[in-house]
Structures are given as structure tokens and as C-alpha cells.
Structure 1
Amino acid sequence: MFVTVLGISMFASEATFAFRPAVSVDDWKVIMSAISAYSHNAEYRELLGRLERQAKVNGITLPAPRLS
């Protein structure tokens, strides 16, 4: 429940922002490489997929995955 005063919600001034840490392109690639080692785990696969999509949107090119 929230309280309104004069028709204005007390939460009106609260903005919701996505967490956007400052990470260099090289750091992003290292993080993705480290997480890819755990891609056999569904939870990490989902995380890796989200990070790959964000990398693509931000113009970060990633090396093709190595097949072993």
C-alpha cells in the first residue's frame, strides 16, 4: 500500500534504473569467456545469452566459441 498526498504518490519521485556498471570492452570479453566455461549449466547459459545480446547491442564483437 502507498500513500498519496494531494494526488501525488510518495513513490512518484523514485525512478527505476537498470544497473549499468562501467566495464571496459576487454573486461566484458574476459567475463564472458569465464562464464562460458560454465555454459553446461542452464542458469549460466541464460546469463551468457543475456550478456551476449547486450554485447551485440553495444557493438562489442566477441570471438567465435572454440569447439573442443
Structure 2
Amino acid sequence: MKIVGPREFNHTWATMVNGLAEQGFALLRLQEWMRREHPVEVGSWAHCTQVLPPYISAWCKFLGKDRL
């Protein structure tokens, strides 16, 4: 069975968060999605998502660049 991996995304947290701030956004909340199933097969996608969150949600508010 071949496991399909995630798409490659080469932006660091610093690049993403600082980029939002530079454009006038305030970060209000950040949430990571992680799987909470037990037990899972070691090396499976389910196992990977228990230690490395594949998805994030960010709630931001636009304050405007003039408020920087």
C-alpha cells in the first residue's frame, strides 16, 4: 500500500506570520489540527499527523498598514 504524502510547502512559520504582520494583519488565534486516534500503525499517515500537524487555521484581523 502506497501512502500519498502531503504537498511540499516551503514557508517557515516566521515567514508566514511576519508576512501577515507586515501587511497590517494582527494574529488573533492559531490552531493546529492533529489526529487523536489510538492505536495507529507506525509510519502511517495517521501516525504522522499525531506528531506533525498537517493543517493550521489562522484567525487574523486587518488593522491596516498605517497602524504599523
With the length of structure 1 as denominator, give the TM-score of the two structures: 0.27
Write 1 or 2 for the structure with the bigger share of helix: 1
Report 1 or 2 for greater relative contact order, CA contacts < 8 Å, sequence distance ≥ 6: 2
Structure with the bigger percentage of strand: 2
- Of structures 1 and 2, the larger Rg is shown by 1
